Amino acid sequence: MKQKRMLIFGATGRTGAHLAVLAREAGWRVIAAARDPARVAAADEIVCCDVLSREATIAAVTQVRPGVVMSTLGGRGELTVEDLGLRHVADACLAAEVRRLIVVTSLGCGGSRRHASPRLLAAIGDVLAAKTRAEDYIIAQNLDWTLVRPGGLVESEPTGSAVLVDDETAHGLISCADLAGLLLRLASDAASVRQVYSAYDPARPTPARGT
């Protein structure tokens, strides 16, 4: 049987690194797309790619031709990566005829923005707006996309209790490892195509929304 191939954009980040490990353990061949290959902790292959270059991103996806593309890009406040970079990943999937695209954005994007606290919007409102523009672009493409909006990410031991819900009012914390586990499940879940999910962990204390 031919080994399933997963291309991860953002494999040098916390969630992406956890996803790479879990996917390899589950039998996937993991290819990491990264600007700095030296920062990739776990992968079967690495392709050098800066997502701010549309041509380089198309070349990377075309070279690999994976069964699924995962994006855990973001988290560093780079607005061009949050918006333009994600658009380039979607463009690359279209150009390479790779239909399955799973993208991590954030609670506070899209329709969930109206449920975000003023404190959150004051802190990262511009980042959420950039991610929302990318979401809108991806949704408009002829791809088998899934969008995942996690709550507050923490680097701690997984609880195994994290959930994906179709509820824009949901909020809470989730570990990067638990989020990675949810993403791996989505890779083989046909029912999740063209769905937008909120991700959080009900086993973790829910922070107050603030004012």
CATH of residue 108: 3.40.50.720
User: Does residue 162 lie within any of the structural domains?
Assistant: yes
Q: Which stretch of 13-17, 44-48, 163-167, 169-173 has the lowest confidence by average pLDDT?
A: 169-173
In a domain, 208, yes or no: no
Q: 135 lies in which domain range?
A: 5-200
Domain count, the chain: 1
210: in domain: no
Query: For residue 184, is it within any domain?
Result: yes
Of 174, 175, 203, 108, the residue nearest 147 (C-alpha): 108
Tell me if 209 is assigned to some domain. Answer: no
Strand order in the sheet with 68-71: 45-48, 29-34, 5-9, 68-71, 100-104, 144-150, 195-200, 163-165
Residue 208 or 122, more confident: 122
**Mean pLDDT of the 103-121 span:** 83
pLDDT in tens, 49-76: 999 999 999 999 999 999 999 999 987 7
Q: Does the model's pTM come out above 0.85?
A: yes
Q: Is residue 207 part of a domain?
A: no
